[in-house]
Structure 1
Amino acid sequence: MMKRMESLKQALINDGLIYGFFALWMGANIGLFVYTFWLFETADIHVLMVACMGSSLSLAKASAATLNLNSALILLPVCRNLVSYLRGAVIFRGGLLRLLDKNISFHKWCGYMIMLHSIIHTVAHMYNGLNFQRASEDPNFVPCTDYFVPGTPIPYYFSMLYSAAGITGMVMCIVLFLMMNASFEYLRKTNFEVFWYTHHLFIVYYIGIITHALSGLVQTVNPDGSFTKAGLTAWQWVIGPLVIYGIERITRLFRSTQRVVVAKVVQHPSNVVEIQMLKKGFKATAGQYIFIQVPTLSSFEWHPFTLTSSPEESFFSVHIRVAGDWTTSLAERLGCHWDAKGNQIVKSGYKGNPSKMPTFNVDGPFGTATSGDAFKYSTAILVGAGIGVTPFASVLKSIWYQQAQGLNMKLRKVYFIWICRDRRSFEWFQDLIEALELQMVSQGMQAFLQIDVYLTERIKHEEITNIVTEGDASEDLLHGQHTKTHFGRPHWDKIFAETSTKHANEQVGVFFCGPKVLGKVLHTKCNEYSDKIQHGGARYIFNEEVF
């Protein structure tokens, strides 16, 4: 019991506000469900229909109310401009910022709730049809609706399927099934196009949910014995979020039509292409991301990429790993080619006629957990795994420029940890690390930035022998830098213990981008070691890169 309480206490250190928001949202769902169920069970205007169909009617209407709530909420987290605006608001600081960074998680929660209550609603109405059919066969049957007349050739059960409610219900179930299955991480990463297209079926879903009650199957009883259709109510729930989302899409459309100039294309080893672009009025902070569309490849697809340029540079850039159909086609249009091992076939990028350069549309930038937040701490730990290093390229560049300009920063110490399996992936990032180190050495600030690279790839014995034999003891044995390369995975307990000793009683910002499994480990360590602050440790604030 004590161990569970200790784990809960540690979890609340970083995520208390997130758990509180989740509890509020879950409470709203449960409260609305229970209230609507109770209303249909007890209200006089529903007594005939409940007597005829049973509590399955109350269950169907309670799940419908919860569906309306979540159908309204699910749009707001994906309004990227709204989220970015809120991140810049004065009231959003600390835990509230981390709450905003969970916008996609909240979007998923709402999606799961919609799927759950769609199943409940559908199954409950199936029972309603059967119960009504059985009740209507009773000689003493008292009509509870004038939509169906007992004794007609077409039974109620089948008439319900042919009604507006039945048709829209079936269409919405199919749409939700397609959207949910295309949202699984594996399919989303391997075939983003399927995810993108199926998710835009949300338009069909909202048309369905607004018109679902058009036929008026559920009716109330008036004092004179006549019946009144319940009417359309779903639109009252979703109209506000739909308007906000409409403004969001118009804003995206306007920004995406602004002219983008591709200033330079650089082909890097290991199937990586760097694209440097210019756009009038474009302003970004360190660690933000953009969406890119190439009309010649697809008229509708937008793909997210983290900015690798810093705010101080005159252009903005992205580094794209060529791994799928869309990125492969893009690289070919830019004149970039690699052999089977990822070696460059040509030494530079685009060599064709500039007039044939594909047109780029850019939407953004949008804020995330690393968007300048690292500069709000005196000590920051940046952890990038594999291609997850890209947002930190922007942060490290910004540090370099601010140091070069002699700007006064709150940030006094940066620990940068990069975990990578393939050592060849270091190549495109190498120049930045070297330039940053030279800048720090020239200003006598070697202690400001500590870079540790962890190489998880198994290296042959003879390669290690050559590295040790030829390397300078004062430099990194693998790359010839002051930065040290470690073989194997980080020993997190050792890293956090040493940092806690060096920065006792401080708040240390931990920023991570990479696999979810590693993110969970880091999150746990942040909570675990933050709990030791009363014993002279540090408090670790965990932030994770999401988009």
Structure 2
Amino acid sequence: MISAKTFQPVVEDQLTAARAYFLCIIGMLFCESLIRLPSYFMTYKKARSSVSPAKHWKPYVLLHKIITLPPLLSFITRHRLPSLFRLFVFVFLNFLWGWNRLLYSTDYKLYGWLTIANAGLGLLLAARTNLFSIVLRIPTPILLNYHRWIGRATFAHATLHLSLTIQQFVRTDQFAAVVVNARIRVGIVAWVALAIVYITSLSFIRRRWFEVFYYAHFLFLVFIAGALYHASKGPEFLLPGLGLWAIDRVIRFAHRFRKIVVKSVTYYPRDLTKFKFEGVQAAYPGQMAWIQVPSISYLNWHPFSIASAPGDSEGTIAIRGLGNYSKKAQLLAETRKCEDRMDSETGGQEVVVGSMPMVEASAVRMVLDGPYGIGRLQWDRYRTIVIVAGGIGITPGISIASYIVNRAAASTTTTTTTTTTGMGFEWHIHLLWVIKEKKHSQWFADELKKLASLAANPSMPVTMDVTIHVTGGGNSSEQTTTAIGQEEFALDNTVEKYDGPGIVHHHRPNLSEWFRCVKDGSKDTDIAVSLCGPKAMMNDARKAAAKASVESGVFHVEEEEFEL
């Protein structure tokens, strides 16, 4: 027979256990920071000398390959091994500090305290202007994972606390008498608000009804108010995060009054609208921003990746017509009367066509909150940058390529490249873009032409190779050569004439062979990789990057997966 002593809690005092759990999670976040923060304090010269030339031990390469691979059980979880390790530690800490004997009704309070502790942690990560990201340099996707896990743990502990307590009251015939207590009623209301937040944050609701997810999340204020009233010592967990969130809201409110001048709104074939604007610049490549266009809705804000980079005179956001909000954006730049003309004759017009045709771009008002986001890689520290994108996933790739080209252009203003880059090396950009139809290549043709033209300048310490694969449509066997010379990366002769940099292929890419070619041309150096696109394509790219990683250089992969 199992005795009650078998289930003794780690710490008898429940509040102390909640505090210990809170500090353990904060410790996990600081460990995340220690992995990356030191490189930001190193000078550019020292930082770059650490990545080139590269010579790694075989055990390190083997471990790197395992970490780079996609999820081994993708049909069960989308998390890779590093993320699964974090999740295991997080779940273990919840079980460790939640281990309890459950003999008396007072034992149930432990789960109430763990609810409060998790809620406080969730608040610390809720702000868009996040100190863990800005100060500790923890990448945004990692913080987003922690926020989700903490939210689910909050709901799990709250539900356990509520159900065990109600069960006890019902069993002892005290429920009717106890529920009269205002503190109990407020606690139940707080749980209902938390349940709504949790249910509406599930992926099948979040993806289909984004507005429901977005506005239901504000019920967390009801939960926090109820928790502060229900628990006497809740403020020590909740108020720090609530204060940072309030400051963040003030900053975001101030963003509404920034002057954003829309320079052009361009419609491209197959439902893509590109906004070019002035007034805000990205701080880092691959950031995102929340956009409100009053012409579409005064209430709805939606996040979009920024295609422009630090140093660009104009910002660029591309909106693909996939959801209700993004489809409404198309109406700003086209009407069904002129769609066929634009598609066949012009391939895109720098006009805004709403309910009345030919509205000036300056008439479109845009409110932008951001940019936000910190990536895992410092792109300019690597001599070779690989960008693999699918469809509209090219957006962060354009930002990264623009950032590198801008850095290279800045180096030409000094007497020597070494002065600016810290190493005197050239950057090499290899961009692979997979699209469904050839017409999709028009989406960022202007940006690619500009980047390729700058990279073709002999005085610029950067080269750029572009490969485009069209997976749908017809085939053509007519081959063309390009000014930037990319024949070495053409894996067969099935190409098509294309008015832009690089070569267009009519087939799916052999990513394994392509990564091997890139590695053969980049001896003794580590390579930075940006992935954004369909999950299957990114998984194949991860496998190819892992396979091509060797002692003389490994592929460091950053995956841009659009998740909220």
- TM-score, normalization: structure 2? 0.72
Alpha carbons of structure 1 residues 395 and 77: separation in structure 2 relative to 1, 3 Å: same
Cα separation, 2, equivalents of 1:343 and 1:208: 58
User: Residue 468 of structure 1: CA displacement?
Assistant: 2.1
2:236 corresponding residue in structure 1: 236
Tell me, yes or no, if the aligned pair for 1:288 and 1:391 is still in contact at 8 Å.
Answer: yes
Tell me, yes or no, if the aligned pair for 1:269 and 1:343 is still in contact at 8 Å.
Answer: no
Structure 2 counterpart of 1:316, which letter? G
Give the 3-state SS of the residue equivalent to 2:283 in structure 1.
coil
Structure 2 counterpart of 1:344, which letter? M
Alpha carbons of structure 1 residues 478 and 88: separation in structure 2 relative to 1, 3 Å: farther
Alpha carbons of structure 1 residues 423 and 13: separation in structure 2 relative to 1, 3 Å: closer
Asked if residue 267 in structure 1 is aligned to residue 271 in structure 2, the reply is no
User: Residue 384 of structure 1: CA displacement?
Assistant: 1.3
Q: Pairwise CA RMSD of aligned residues?
A: 3.5
User: Residue 510 of structure 1: CA displacement?
Assistant: 1.3
1:336 corresponding residue in structure 2: 334
Cα separation, 2, equivalents of 1:80 and 1:289: 11
Cα separation, 2, equivalents of 1:285 and 1:8: 29
Give the 3-state SS of the residue equivalent to 2:477 in structure 1.
helix
Gaps of 5+ in 1: 42-53, 134-155, 214-231
1:209 corresponding residue in structure 2: 227
Q: Match for 1:424 among 439, 442, 457?
A: 439
2:182 corresponding residue in structure 1: 164
Asked if residue 434 in structure 1 is aligned to residue 442 in structure 2, the reply is no
Asked if residue 367 in structure 1 is aligned to residue 415 in structure 2, the reply is no
User: Residue 245 of structure 1: CA displacement?
Assistant: 0.8
User: What are the equivalent positions in structure 2 for 1:518-537 lying under 5 Å apart?
Assistant: 518-527=537-546, 529-530=548-549, 532-533=550-551, 536=552
Tell me, yes or no, if the aligned pair for 1:288 and 1:306 is still in contact at 8 Å.
Answer: yes
1:448-480 superposed Cα distances (whole Å, 9 cap, x missing partner)? 2222222222x34xxx2xx325x4366852415
Structure 1 counterpart of 2:151, which letter? G
1:472 corresponding residue in structure 2: 480
Structure 2 counterpart of 1:367, which letter? G
Tell me, yes or no, if the aligned pair for 1:56 and 1:127 is still in contact at 8 Å.
Answer: no
1:149-178 superposed Cα distances (whole Å, 9 cap, x missing partner)? xxxxxxx12233443354334333433333
User: What are the equivalent positions in structure 2 for 1:303-452 lying under 5 Å apart?
Assistant: 303-332=302-331, 334-338=332-336, 344=342, 347-350=349-352, 357-369=363-375, 373-404=378-409, 406=412, 408=417, 409=421, 412-443=427-458, 448-452=463-467
2:290 corresponding residue in structure 1: 291
User: What are the equivalent positions in structure 2 for 1:91-102 lying under 5 Å apart?
Assistant: 92=137, 97-98=138-139, 100-102=140-142
Tell me, yes or no, if the aligned pair for 1:376 and 1:411 is still in contact at 8 Å.
Answer: no
Asked if residue 301 in structure 1 is aligned to residue 300 in structure 2, the reply is yes
Tell me, yes or no, if the aligned pair for 1:263 and 1:277 is still in contact at 8 Å.
Answer: yes
Cα separation, 2, equivalents of 1:483 and 1:57: 69
Asked if residue 496 in structure 1 is aligned to residue 515 in structure 2, the reply is yes
2:196 corresponding residue in structure 1: 178
Cα separation, 1, equivalents of 2:284 and 2:336: 32
User: Residue 267 of structure 1: CA displacement?
Assistant: 2.2
Give the 3-state SS of the residue equivalent to 1:450 in structure 2.
strand
Give the 3-state SS of the residue equivalent to 1:417 in structure 2.
strand
Greater RCO between the two (CA within 8 Å, min separation 6)?
2
Cα separation, 2, equivalents of 1:473 and 1:528: 30
Structure 1 counterpart of 2:342, which letter? Q
1:1-31 superposed Cα distances (whole Å, 9 cap, x missing partner)? xxxx999774457988766654554444233
Cα separation, 2, equivalents of 1:355 and 1:488: 38
After TM superposition, the structure 1 stretch with the greater mean CA deviation from structure 2, 181-190 or 313-322, is 181-190
Cα separation, 1, equivalents of 2:288 and 2:310: 12
1:372-417 superposed Cα distances (whole Å, 9 cap, x missing partner)? 8322211111111111111122222334444455364555222111
Q: Match for 2:557 among 537, 542, 546?
A: 542
Cα separation, 2, equivalents of 1:359 and 1:240: 36
Alpha carbons of structure 1 residues 125 and 523: separation in structure 2 relative to 1, 3 Å: farther
User: Residue 238 of structure 1: CA displacement?
Assistant: 0.7
Identity %: 20
Cα separation, 2, equivalents of 1:344 and 1:444: 38
1:108 corresponding residue in structure 2: 148
- TM-score, normalization: structure 1? 0.74
Asked if residue 509 in structure 1 is aligned to residue 509 in structure 2, the reply is no
User: Residue 192 of structure 1: CA displacement?
Assistant: 1.6
Tell me, yes or no, if the aligned pair for 2:193 and 2:223 is still in contact at 8 Å.
Answer: yes
Cα separation, 1, equivalents of 2:64 and 2:556: 15
Tell me, yes or no, if the aligned pair for 2:265 and 2:361 is still in contact at 8 Å.
Answer: no
Give the 3-state SS of the residue equivalent to 1:102 in structure 2.
helix
Gaps of 5+ in 2: 1-59, 70-79, 488-494
User: Residue 481 of structure 1: CA displacement?
Assistant: 5.0
Tell me, yes or no, if the aligned pair for 1:78 and 1:103 is still in contact at 8 Å.
Answer: no
Alpha carbons of structure 1 residues 401 and 201: separation in structure 2 relative to 1, 3 Å: same
Structure 1 counterpart of 2:368, which letter? V
Structure 2 counterpart of 1:438, which letter? S
Tell me, yes or no, if the aligned pair for 2:382 and 2:528 is still in contact at 8 Å.
Answer: yes
Cα separation, 1, equivalents of 2:387 and 2:374: 14
User: Residue 251 of structure 1: CA displacement?
Assistant: 0.9
Structure 2 counterpart of 1:286, which letter? P
Give the 3-state SS of the residue equivalent to 2:342 in structure 1.
coil
Asked if residue 119 in structure 1 is aligned to residue 159 in structure 2, the reply is yes
User: Residue 288 of structure 1: CA displacement?
Assistant: 1.8
Tell me, yes or no, if the aligned pair for 2:262 and 2:277 is still in contact at 8 Å.
Answer: yes
Alpha carbons of structure 1 residues 265 and 480: separation in structure 2 relative to 1, 3 Å: closer
User: Residue 109 of structure 1: CA displacement?
Assistant: 0.8
1:219 corresponding residue in structure 2: none
